[in-house]
Each structure stands twice: as structure tokens, then as C-alpha cells.
Amino acid sequence: MCWVRSAALATMLLAATPAHAQMRIAAERQEAAASLVLSWPGAVKAEHAQDGRELTLRFSKPIGDARVDAIAERLSGWVDGVQYGYDSLLLVLAPDVAATVGVDRDGVRVAFAPAPRAAAPSAPSAEDQTAERRLDYFRAVTMMEDGRVGAARTLLGTMLEHDPADREAVDLLAQVAERQGRWREAVALYGRALNLSPDNKPALDARKRLLREYGDQTRLDFDLFHVKNADVQRITRLTGNQDVGWNSTLRYAIERRTLDVDQARQADGRLEPFHGQRLRGEMSLLHDWDNLDQSRLTLFAAPRTLGVGIGHDLRDTTGQTRFSLGFSEPTYAFVEGIVNAGRRDRLWVLREQRLSERWGATLGGALNRYGLAGQGDLARSASVEGSLRYTFWVERPIASLAYVLDAEYVGRRVERFDPLGNLYVPLPVARREVHSLQVALEDSYDGGFRYALQAGWSYDRFSKGGPFAAGTLGYEMLDGLESGLRASHTISTTRGTGSTVNAVGGYLLWRH
């Protein structure tokens, strides 16, 4: 009856394998032998290697949806465990089991039999230890690819306890820390990897990238905005990041905005020219928690406006959910807001989701209340934002295609009469529903140059749409000192006019 039981087990395994899986599995277990067949509908290349009880199989095609986790159960007594990645399979043989691998055009056949009795085991040789460590590297990479970043962290930590000078383990642990959002730890580990191997260029590039994004820096921006048939704005903005210890960062921003407009609505409804300046500033304290969450406290200041904001980011292995609540935040999206101390109260939530290596999405919404100095409730709205991005060039240059939604639906807007009896809106918050399709391209070069380009078309269901384009060119003149230029052409959507906006600017950035 052994053949009946073996056939039944093979049938059950095949039935448990989804019909749409790329790889097919057939398993047969008998009392004195067993076999495993892995095949594809078409031709496939296969490689195999064995180290002790661990048999590694690699294929030129992805494993797909096949139920490889059921192999150990179906071949109980012959296979103790299974680990798998995108195109690799690791079988842990039961004690005293030998495996013979045969490679065919469409897959492999593994035959299991009792292993001949061996002499008493001796201490592992240096070659065996090296092979085991290489297998551990493979396990760690496979865990990261499968999203089991915590398990990879544990494995690599154990490896470094036995050999603190293992450069490759340090390098992989730095990648794990970066994926988990522990940028400070990742910077320190990449530095440790460079101490062990100074010519490790990937570690050097990764460390520079993290410091570029999160490290201490001071930046000065200059921008000139021209809204067609409307206003001209000149903006100077000083921003900076400073690590203050205890996993916390202090961020600050000071902005001076010069506005020139022939007609600006005053608080009482009169239209008068305005040629003047406004200042505003903000300061934020960000704290990174041990569970990878982040909290923020922000203070806002502008003429006749003081505000506060709080926020918290919940992070997980596939993305993050962001929350924020702001009260009396200065808003200069409208000319009236610049002239008459505009402010906004806002409750906001956003989900950022990494769908795969190439796909990413965001979706969020907010409730808004707008006002001016002494008039705290002039308009209310709900806004929605979202995006779906596909990165079709992952290597340099990085190129992506994205759909972006930017919408705001006005629920209440106060109307009043000016001294002449004309009806006017003190704060003209406009409804919009902008759908955009955009292409982005960016790259950097060893000589210190980097660029970012973006172009596309936007359509506003309630107003005008049109093409848009933006570009930035940066150059690192000295180590830590960078300058750049930028320009853009787009459509003004927040004011509901559909006017074109042209902008040029530049920046100086000092990383310290």
C-alpha cells in the first residue's frame, strides 16, 4: 500500500498548488526513498549546491505562487524545513538523508535516500565555516527580499557577535537599518563597513545619500514667481536641520516674501495695490522612537499670527501612515492671505504604501478651515490627495511615471459687501480637482553634478489644465557645499483661475 499512500500525497500537493503558479510541484514519499519534482511549462535553467544538510536550488524563472511551504510537510522525515526567495529554494534535509539532483530542460528532480553512515564528526574546517557564512549571507538577503527585515536583523546580529570584523555582515546590517528607517544607525554601520574596507564604494555612496537626506544642513533658497496677469513674488527662505541627540532633530525655516500686485483685496473689501514684504517662520522638533514611529511638534509665527502643529507617523515594513493637526498655520497660497495674515486650521492623514520594488502609492485627505487676522472662519473645505507611481528604470538614471490627484472641495465660503455695496469674497478658496500624469527623471554623477526633471499634463475638472514642466540642476562645488538652479512652468490651481505660473530660482546648501 506504500505506492497508494505516496500517490495520494503527491495528488494532495498538486491540488494544493494554485493553477496559476509559475512553478509546478510534485512530491512522492515512500518508506525507503522519496522524490521532489519542480518544473515549469517551458524551458528553465537550474543550478544547485549543497552544504551539509542544506540544499540550495536556483532557477532562471521566478517561483511564483507555488506552495513551497508545504514541501516539508509532504516530505516529512526527508525534509525538515524550507526557505525560499524570488527565484531560489533552500531545502533543509532531515538527519542522515542524502539528496541527488537531476537537471532537466523544464526543471529539476531531487531524489532522497538514506545517507551512508559516516565516521564520527570532526570539527568543521575553515572551508566549511566559510561556506556556512556564505549561506548565512544568502539567508539574510532572502529574508530582506521577502520583507522579513526583523529576522534578517537578528541573523546578522548573531553573525557579528561571532565575528565583529565581518564586513559583508556589517554592510547587510546597514541595509537592514536603512530599510527600517533607522537612518542614524545605518550611517554608523556604513561608516563601520568603510573602516573595514575603505574601497567599499556602495557603502560610501549609501552613507552620503543618507547624510544628504537626513544629516545636519543649512540651506538658502531664492525664488521668483510670476502669475500671469496677477502678482509677482520674490521669496528668500533659510532652512536647516540639526541633530540635537536623543534620536531627535530640530528643523527651522525663516521666509521673507516680497509681493507686488496691482490689485489686492483688503480686509474691508477695498481693492488697492500692494507692494510690500511679509515674514514667517516655523520651528519643528522631530523625535524618532525605537519602534520606528516619528513624532513632530511645530511652532508657526507670522505677522498677527501664531500657531502650533503636532504630528505622528506610524511606520511598518511596507510604508507609513501620517497624521497631523495644525492650528493657525500661516498660509500664503492666496494674495489675500499674504496681505491680511492668512491662517489655516487643518486635520490631515496620509498613507504612503510601497506596493513592490517598482510600484508605490499614496492616499490622504484633510479637513481645512481658513481665516484672516481677526476673522478665523471664512472658508471650510475638504481636500484629497493621492498618487500611483511606477518606476520603470530602477538603476541610474531613475525614471518613473505617475498619476497624481490634488483636489479640494469647498463646503463653506463667507461672502460680504464692500463699502460700495459690491459683493466680495474675503478669502477666495476655490474648489479644484486636478488630475495629472507626469514623467520624472533624475540622476547624479561622480563629478558632483545631479539633476531632476519632471514634465506632464494636468487637467482640472473645475478650471483650466495644461502642460507643466520643472527642472533642477545641482553641483557640489566643495565637499558638503552644493549650489543649484531650478525653473518651472505650471498652472495655478489653488486660486481657481487657471493662470500660468512661471518660476526660476536657485539655492546654496551646506552640509555640516
For 215-511, give the CATH class.
Answer: mainly beta
- For 399, other C-beta atoms within 10 Å of its C-beta total 17
Looking at residue 22, its pLDDT comes to 67
User: What digits encode the pLDDT tens for the residues 206-220?
Assistant: 888 888 888 889 999
User: What digits encode the pLDDT tens for the residues 336-346?
Assistant: 999 999 999 99
By C-alpha distance, which of 103, 104, 76, 92 is closest to 13?
A: 76
Burial of 405 (0-12, 13-18, 19+ CB in 10 A): middle
User: What digits encode the pLDDT tens for the residues 71-103?
Assistant: 888 888 888 888 887 788 888 888 888 888 888
- Specify whether domain 127-212 bears CATH 1.25.40.10: yes
For residue 457, name the pLDDT band (cuts at 50, 70, 90): very high
Grid cell in block for residue 350: 496620509
Looking at residue 131, its pLDDT comes to 73
Looking at residue 32, its pLDDT comes to 80
- pLDDT, average across residues 366-382: 93
Instruction: Give the residue extent of every domain in the chain.
Output: 2-114, 127-212, 215-511
Looking at residue 72, its pLDDT comes to 80
Question: Is the previous residue joined to 397 through a cis bond, with omega within 30 degrees of 0?
Answer: yes
For residue 498, name the pLDDT band (cuts at 50, 70, 90): low
Going from the C-alpha of 238 to that of each of 60, 253, 255, the distances in angstroms are 52, 6, 6
Looking at residue 212, its pLDDT comes to 80
- Specify whether domain 2-114 bears CATH 1.10.8: no
| Residue 275 or residue 140, greater confidence | 275
CA atoms within 13 A on the CB side of 260: 9
Looking at residue 4, its pLDDT comes to 38
Mean per-residue pLDDT of the chain: 86
Q: Give CA–CA dist 244/232, Å, rounded.
A: 38
Checking if the pLDDT of 411 tops 50, the result is: yes
User: What digits encode the pLDDT tens for the residues 428-452?
Assistant: 898 999 999 999 999 988 778 999 9
Looking at residue 2, its pLDDT comes to 40
Looking at residue 496, its pLDDT comes to 67
Looking at residue 6, its pLDDT comes to 41
CA atoms within 13 A on the CB side of 132: 11
Do 312 and 286 contact (CB within 8 A), yes or no?
A: no
